[in-house]
């Protein structure tokens, strides 16, 4: 950023800071202006949140560890991150856990998994609000905050919602997807949601070492074509192996670091932060302030329309609205029956498919494990069982993953097909509520609600099974005294005997996940529906009651209130115009580059 732009940056940053103070005096709704203190803190400290996003199991935590050059965040073969984790600069490595009730706990870095992972903190039962990690990394020294987010699309729907809620705080994002498979429909849907919210996105294809060079190029071309269609223009993708990059840094291996692609990505990040950080910092904070103003303006518009009605008209509308709400609530009971029927049909389909998998693939798994045992001639008998246990887990994952993806895709398609009619009905109900309320206040433009609440989210992720139950019977001194050939025969016999039982257990866990996932989905569906209905009803009721009270106080008081409101609207609009002008300047500067 040149000297002239730097002066402009400081001026505009101060202007945004001052605007939040002015708006707090004009907008009296405490819930609306709640983000302003944090925005001011961001502006004062130059905090810039680079949020790492992506579907579950794409290597986000490993990627952040690679940037830091140390295993700071916990990683695993199953989805790990359960809460938002911010990495700030600090003189020493340390972590703070913030809980929803306001408590704060200092923890050591090795203890993080007890709070941020699904294993240590399933479904966030410990009510962690967020975790802040302090780490002495040079790239964090000037206010950069790297944010690790829960992956979208796993069985843990609360993780997806948590990530979506945090997006409004992002100044820029790194979106990570994998070399295998290419971009999924879920990822494309998530990216569509990011476009209007996040000012700038850097695309990273992780696990590039999984593919041969020609295969990697094919995937890059395919993903690039999808991104260019979504973002309406040329899109760059940086391919890396985060795990190789981390190992290279841990071993001070510059050659391997360059080969991992991480060095090139770090240079891209550094260039972006050096040249564009200030620009997107201003844009993102300006957008946050204007979101608050626009929400307030919508509420004022409803109120202004209500002010044109007489007390008799307002009371009549109140009666009409209460009748309409009761009618909608009856429809809600019907929705619960339809959702339950959909769940039962999907569970039956799942049962049929899993039995087919066990019938078709149990023998293949047995063969692979037997082959591993036969090929383990160089492994001592004492080390053989741990070796088989690890191999067994990988064999199960290798067999489950392709089948799991197919079942997930099919169930998603069937769900969308089953719920298509229901979604249409719910969408109509919701929009009718808003149209009806708009008619009550003679608003020509009916309010429309986005239907994200009714979009199906994937309910699957796989769990590595516990092989100890099959193997621990052999782990004793007597078995180790047996001749190797007899030892291997006994090992095969026990494993083959337990394979079918283990597969049943594994799919049983998946079925339980699906059952509870669909049940949660249905509850969330109905909760969102009821929440929207209650919120709309309360807003209308409060608005009518306020206007009735004002009109009862007399025409003179009513006119004074109306004039005051007009002055507030003009003042807020003037501030919004100034903020929009600042935002436009930096967007045009970005376009010029």
Identify the bridge partners of residue 50 per DSSP, sorted by sequence position: 146, 172
pLDDT of amino acid 470: 39
Asked whether the predicted pLDDT for residue 284 surpasses 50, the reply is yes
The helix/strand/coil state of 152 is: strand
Asked whether the predicted pLDDT for residue 461 surpasses 70, the reply is no
Alpha carbons 494 and 473: distance in angstroms, whole number: 9
Name, of 314-323, 404-413, 502-511, the range with top average pLDDT.
Answer: 314-323
**CB hemisphere CA count around 100 (13 angstroms):** 6
Alpha carbons 247 and 255: distance in angstroms, whole number: 12
Q: What is the mean pLDDT of the chain?
A: 77
The pLDDT tens digits of the residues spanning 483-499 come to 666 766 776 777 666 66
pLDDT of amino acid 450: 36
pLDDT of amino acid 204: 93
Cβ atoms of 511 and 351 closer than 8 Å: yes
The pLDDT tens digits of the residues spanning 289-348 come to 998 888 788 777 767 766 677 777 777 877 887 888 787 777 667 778 888 888 888 888
Q: Which two tokens stand for residue 490?
A: 């006994």
Three-state DSSP string of 432-473: HHHHHHHHHCCCCCCCCCCCHHHCCCCCCCCCCCCCHHHHHH
Alpha carbons 426 and 90: distance in angstroms, whole number: 49
Alpha carbons 242 and 69: distance in angstroms, whole number: 10
The pLDDT tens digits of the residues spanning 83-139 come to 889 999 999 999 999 988 778 999 999 888 888 877 787 777 888 888 999 999 888
Cβ atoms of 464 and 401 closer than 8 Å: no
Cβ atoms of 27 and 292 closer than 8 Å: yes
With CA atoms as reference, report the closest residue to 415 among 379, 389, 454. 454
Q: How confident is the model at residue 33 (pLDDT cuts 50, 70, 90)?
A: confident
pLDDT of amino acid 423: 62
Q: Which two tokens stand for residue 556?
A: 């003179």
Q: How confident is the model at residue 185 (pLDDT cuts 50, 70, 90)?
A: confident
Structural domain boundaries of the chain? 1-45+283-306+553-593, 49-260, 312-370+400-469+503-550
Q: How confident is the model at residue 456 (pLDDT cuts 50, 70, 90)?
A: very low
Alpha carbons 262 and 253: distance in angstroms, whole number: 12
Alpha carbons 544 and 536: distance in angstroms, whole number: 12
Q: How many residues are there in the chain?
A: 593
Binning the chain into helix, strand and coil, the percentages to the nearest 5 are: 70, 10, 20
The pLDDT tens digits of the residues spanning 535-580 come to 766 766 776 677 677 666 665 666 777 778 888 889 999 999 999 9
Contact partners, residue 101, CB within 8 Å, separation at least 6: 127
- CATH of region 49-260, choose from 3.40.640.10, 3.90.226.10, 3.40.50.300, 3.40.50.880: 3.40.50.300
Asked whether the predicted pLDDT for residue 281 surpasses 70, the reply is yes
Task: Tell me which long-range contacts 261-266 makes (C-beta under 8 A, separation of at least 24).
Answer: 261/208, 262/66, 262/67, 264/238, 264/240, 265/204, 265/238, 265/240, 266/67
Other residues' Cβ atoms within 10 Å of the Cβ of residue 573? 12
pLDDT of amino acid 371: 80
pLDDT of amino acid 580: 93
Q: How confident is the model at residue 478 (pLDDT cuts 50, 70, 90)?
A: very low
Q: Which two tokens stand for residue 370?
A: 């037997």
- Tell how strand 85-89 and strand 144-148 pair up: antiparallel
pLDDT of amino acid 471: 38
Residue 87 backbone phi and psi in degrees, to 5: -110, 110
Q: Which two tokens stand for residue 353?
A: 């498919």
Q: How confident is the model at residue 451 (pLDDT cuts 50, 70, 90)?
A: very low
Residue 104 backbone phi and psi in degrees, to 5: -130, 135
Asked whether the predicted pLDDT for residue 19 surpasses 80, the reply is yes
Q: How confident is the model at residue 407 (pLDDT cuts 50, 70, 90)?
A: confident
pLDDT of amino acid 455: 39
With CA atoms as reference, report the closest residue to 446 among 459, 433, 457, 458. 433
The helix/strand/coil state of 310 is: coil
pLDDT of amino acid 419: 66
Q: Per the confidence metrics, is the pTM higher than 0.85?
A: no
Three-state DSSP string of 61-109: HHHHHHHHCCCCCCCCCCCCECCCEEEEECCCCEEEEEECCCCEEEECH
The pLDDT tens digits of the residues spanning 66-88 come to 999 999 888 765 555 578 899 99
């Amino acid at each position: 950023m040149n000297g002239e732009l730097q002066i402009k940056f400081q001026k505009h940053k101060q202007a945004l800071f001052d605007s939040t103070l002015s708006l707090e005096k004009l907008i009296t709704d405490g819930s609306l202006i709640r983000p302003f203190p944090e925005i001011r803190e961001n502006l004062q400290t130059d905090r810039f949140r680079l949020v790492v996003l992506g579907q579950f199991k794409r290597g986000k935590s490993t990627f952040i560890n690679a940037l830091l050059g140390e295993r700071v965040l916990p990683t695993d073969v199953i989805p790990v991150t359960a809460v938002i984790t911010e990495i700030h600069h600090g003189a020493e490595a340390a972590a703070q856990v913030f809980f929803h009730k306001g408590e704060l706990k200092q923890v050591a870095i090795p203890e993080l998994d007890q709070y941020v992972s699904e294993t240590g903190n399933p479904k966030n039962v410990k009510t962690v609000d967020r975790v802040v990690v302090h780490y002495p990394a040079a790239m964090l020294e000037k206010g950069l905050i790297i944010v690790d987010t829960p992956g979208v699309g796993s069985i843990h729907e609360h993780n997806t919602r948590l990530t979506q809620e945090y997006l409004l705080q992002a100044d820029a994002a790194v979106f990570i997807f994998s070399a295998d498979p290419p971009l999924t429909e879920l990822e494309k849907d998530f990216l569509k949601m990011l476009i209007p919210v996040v000012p700038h996105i850097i695309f990273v294809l992780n696990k590039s070492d999984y593919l041969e060079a020609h295969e990697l190029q094919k995937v890059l071309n395919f993903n690039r074509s999808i991104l260019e269609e979504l973002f309406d223009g040329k899109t760059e993708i940086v391919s890396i192996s985060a795990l190789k990059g981390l190992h290279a840094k841990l071993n001070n291996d510059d050659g391997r670091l360059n080969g991992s692609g991480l060095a090139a990505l770090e240079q891209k990040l550094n260039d972006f932060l050096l040249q564009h950080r200030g620009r997107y910092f201003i844009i993102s904070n300006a957008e946050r302030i204007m979101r608050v103003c626009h929400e307030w303006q919508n509420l004022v518009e409803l109120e202004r329309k209500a002010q044109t009605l007489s007390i008799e008209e307002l009371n009549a509308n109140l009666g009409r609205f209460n009748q309409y709400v009761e009618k909608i609530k009856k429809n809600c009971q019907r929705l619960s029956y339809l959702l339950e029927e959909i769940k039962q049909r999907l569970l039956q389909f799942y049962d049929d498919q899993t039995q087919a998998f066990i019938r078709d693939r149990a023998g293949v798994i047995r063969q692979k494990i037997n082959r591993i045992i036969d090929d383990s001639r160089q492994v001592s008998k004492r080390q053989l069982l741990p070796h088989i246990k690890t191999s067994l887990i990988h064999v199960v994952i290798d067999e489950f993953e392709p089948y799991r993806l197919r079942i997930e895709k099919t169930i998603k398609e069937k769900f969308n097909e089953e719920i298509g009619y229901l979604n249409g009905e719910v969408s109509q109900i919701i929009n009718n509520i808003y149209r009806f309320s708009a008619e009550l206040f003679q608003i020509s433009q009916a309010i429309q609600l986005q239907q994200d609440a009714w979009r199906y989210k994937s309910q699957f992720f796989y769990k590595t099974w516990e092989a100890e139950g099959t193997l621990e019977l052999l782990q004793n001194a007597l078995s180790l005294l047996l001749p190797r050939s007899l030892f291997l025969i006994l090992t095969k016999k026990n494993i083959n005997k337990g394979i079918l039982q283990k597969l049943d257990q594994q799919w049983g866990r998946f079925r339980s996940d699906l059952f509870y996932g669909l049940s949660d989905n249905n509850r969330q569906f109905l909760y969102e529906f009821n929440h929207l209905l209650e919120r709309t009803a309360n807003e209308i009721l409060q608005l009518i009651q306020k206007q009735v009270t004002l009109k009862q106080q007399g025409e003179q008081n009513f006119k004074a209130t109306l004039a005051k409101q007009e002055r507030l609207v003009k003042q807020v609009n003037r501030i919004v115009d100034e903020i929009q002008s600042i935002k436009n300047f930096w967007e045009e500067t970005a376009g010029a580059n």
